[in-house]
């Protein structure tokens, strides 16, 4: 027993020493978040500080015309194993919406969520950032997506002249040549870009180049962070305010939203993952893009960008070949922070996707938008896109 107590004491001393060293190497707030909060989860929007985004006054909800039998049949055709509501709850789903030609034909909530609940986006936020970049170009806040990132962030050039070769388009397409390592632990870029309390400083001082741009696809959270800083400087306002005034209110979103911040002191939006809103408003984002950036009689997102940012293009086609997303399927693509799959007739389906199976799926051919938010994937990550695609085909026409 004495030896056991001594062993425990030695272990505790060693852990305390490691913790002390970690707090010397990294901000204590970062160390705490990694150790206490661990893996990202759907309640993280309650942990981080946030900036609120107000909806337009007197916003009108989407029209609703439930088609329960038709949607249930489409779910079965898409691979559902149980009655739809049971299946969705079992798979960790919080919200599941289906729009057909702009009308909600299915809406369900589970695992503690409701119509008024905020659900988090994780990397769906990247696709929303992409739409803001297109708006900023139209407004001439940003001259061109082919501008070097150093035009807006000259600090990068001072640290490494090779940053001049990286354009905003390279960042959007995840093909910059910037190093990114998911692990190990505290030193991994996944943890840093998610939990670091000063993401501006992290992006400006720790992003480093390992190769030439436009050579390889590498999903990398430094990209949205750098783009967020570009947007912030180009527009002269926080990204959340730009979103509110250029996208959220003009598109008539029905509820308020929020964007999680790295910390109160820094006040920079977590560009890689931190946008939170009602599921219905995520569906509106999908419907907006399906309509070429138009909502009602208002062009909210430039039509050319709504099309260009959600289609495969020849320059980036080689970036993602052979990645886990594409596998051997040459029809799959990633463009400007949207995921997609081309169809044989030249049309395509596309989606904003996030950790734990967050999905805003758009099928222009079928006039269908499918939104799924959840606590966990429940099924293999790619399967949510595939199920949505099969459901859209069953519901289209």
Where along the chain do its domains lie?
2-37, 44-395
Q: Among 232-246, 254-268, 296-310, 330-344, whose mean pLDDT is lowest?
A: 330-344
Averaged confidence pLDDT in the chain: 92
User: 1 or 310, which is more confident?
Assistant: 310
Q: Is 15 exposed, middle or buried (0-12, 13-18, 19+ CB in 10 A)?
A: exposed
Is the predicted pLDDT of residue 239 greater than 90, yes or no?
A: yes
The answer for residues whose C-beta is within 8 angstroms of residue 58's C-beta and 6 or more apart is: none
The encoded tokens of residue 397 equal: 């026409």
**Residue 14's pLDDT is what?**
47
Percentage of the chain beyond pLDDT 70 is: 90
Please state, in angstroms and rounded to a whole number, the distance separating the CA atoms of residues 268 and 49: 10
Coil vs helix vs strand at 397: coil
The answer for residues whose C-beta is within 8 angstroms of residue 168's C-beta and 6 or more apart is: 133, 142, 144, 145, 146, 147, 149, 227, 230
Is the predicted pLDDT of residue 193 greater than 80, yes or no?
A: yes
User: 108 or 60, which is more confident?
Assistant: 108
For 362-371, the pLDDT digits (tens) are 999 999 999 9
44-395 maps to CATH 3.30.9.10: no
The answer for residues whose C-beta is within 8 angstroms of residue 163's C-beta and 6 or more apart is: 148, 149, 150, 153, 156, 157, 209
Contacts of 313-317 with C-beta under 8 Å, sequence gap 24+, read: 315/214, 316/173, 316/175, 316/217
**Residue 337's pLDDT is what?**
96
Contact 108, 127 (CB under 8 A): no
The stretch 364-383 carries a mean pLDDT of 96
Sign of CA dihedral 258, 259, 262, 263: negative
**Residue 367's pLDDT is what?**
97
Percentage of the chain beyond pLDDT 90 is: 82
**Closest to 221 (Cα-Cα) out of 234, 203, 201:** 203
Is the predicted pLDDT of residue 329 greater than 90, yes or no?
A: no
Q: CA of 96: how far to CAs of 42, 85, 107, 338, 339, in Å? A: 15, 9, 6, 20, 19
Beta bridge partners of 260: 50
Is the predicted pLDDT of residue 13 greater than 50, yes or no?
A: no
Coil vs helix vs strand at 94: strand
Please state, in angstroms and rounded to a whole number, the distance separating the CA atoms of residues 196 and 186: 10
Instruction: Output phi, psi for 301, to 5 deg.
Output: -105, 135
Contact 339, 350 (CB under 8 A): yes
Angle, nearest 10°, between helix axes 199-206 and 222-235? 110
For 27-51, the pLDDT digits (tens) are 999 999 999 999 999 999 999 999 9
For 136-148, the pLDDT digits (tens) are 999 999 999 999 9
Cβ neighbour number for residue 252 with a 10 Å cutoff: 20
Work out the pLDDT band at 247, boundaries 50, 70, 90. very high
Contact 220, 176 (CB under 8 A): yes
The stretch 202-210 carries a mean pLDDT of 97
**Closest to 272 (Cα-Cα) out of 223, 213, 309, 234:** 223
Is the predicted pLDDT of residue 242 greater than 90, yes or no?
A: yes
Please state, in angstroms and rounded to a whole number, the distance separating the CA atoms of residues 214 and 303: 25
3-state helix, strand, coil in the chain (%, to 5): 40, 15, 40
Please state, in angstroms and rounded to a whole number, the distance separating the CA atoms of residues 353 and 219: 13
The stretch 217-238 carries a mean pLDDT of 97
């Amino acid at each position: 027993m004495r030896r056991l107590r001594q062993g425990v004491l030695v272990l505790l001393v060693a852990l305390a020493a490691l913790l002390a060293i970690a707090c010397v190497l990294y901000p204590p707030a970062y160390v705490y978040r990694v150790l206490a909060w661990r893996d990202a989860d759907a309640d993280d929007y309650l942990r981080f500080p946030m900036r609120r985004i107000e909806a337009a006054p007197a916003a009108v909800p989407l029209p609703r015309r439930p088609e329960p039998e038709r949607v249930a049949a489409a779910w079965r055709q898409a691979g559902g194993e149980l009655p739809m509501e049971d299946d969705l709850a079992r798979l960790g789903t919080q919200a599941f919406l289906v729009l057909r030609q702009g009308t909600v034909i299915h809406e369900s909530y589970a695992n503690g969520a409701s119509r008024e609940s905020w659900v988090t986006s994780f990397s769906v936020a990247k696709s929303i950032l992409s739409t803001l970049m297109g708006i900023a170009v139209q407004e001439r806040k940003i001259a061109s997506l082919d501008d070097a990132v150093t035009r807006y962030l000259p600090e990068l050039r001072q640290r490494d002249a090779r940053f001049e070769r990286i354009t905003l388009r390279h960042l959007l397409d995840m093909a910059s040549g910037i190093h990114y390592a998911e692990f190990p632990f505290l030193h991994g870029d996944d943890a840093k870009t998610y939990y670091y309390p000063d993401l501006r400083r992290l992006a400006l001082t720790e992003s480093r180049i390992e190769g030439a741009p436009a050579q390889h696809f590498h999903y990398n959270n430094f990209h949205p962070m750098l783009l967020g800083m570009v947007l912030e400087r180009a527009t002269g306002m926080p990204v959340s305010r730009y979103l509110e005034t250029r996208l959220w209110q003009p598109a008539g979103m029905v509820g308020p939203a929020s964007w999680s911040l790295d910390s109160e002191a820094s006040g920079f939006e977590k560009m890689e993952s931190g946008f939170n809103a009602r599921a219905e408003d995520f569906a509106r984002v999908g419907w907006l893009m399906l309509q070429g950036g138009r909502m009602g009689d208002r062009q909210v997102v430039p039509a050319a960008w709504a099309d260009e940012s959600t289609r495969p293009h020849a320059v980036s086609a080689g970036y993602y070949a052979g990645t886990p997303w594409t596998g051997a399927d040459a029809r799959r693509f990633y463009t400007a922070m949207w995921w997609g799959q081309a169809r044989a007739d030249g049309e395509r389906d596309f989606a904003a996707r996030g950790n734990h199976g967050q999905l805003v799926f758009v099928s222009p051919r079928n006039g269908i938008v499918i939104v799924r938010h959840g606590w966990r994937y429940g099924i293999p990550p790619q399967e949510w896109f595939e199920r949505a695609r099969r459901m859209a085909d069953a519901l289209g026409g």
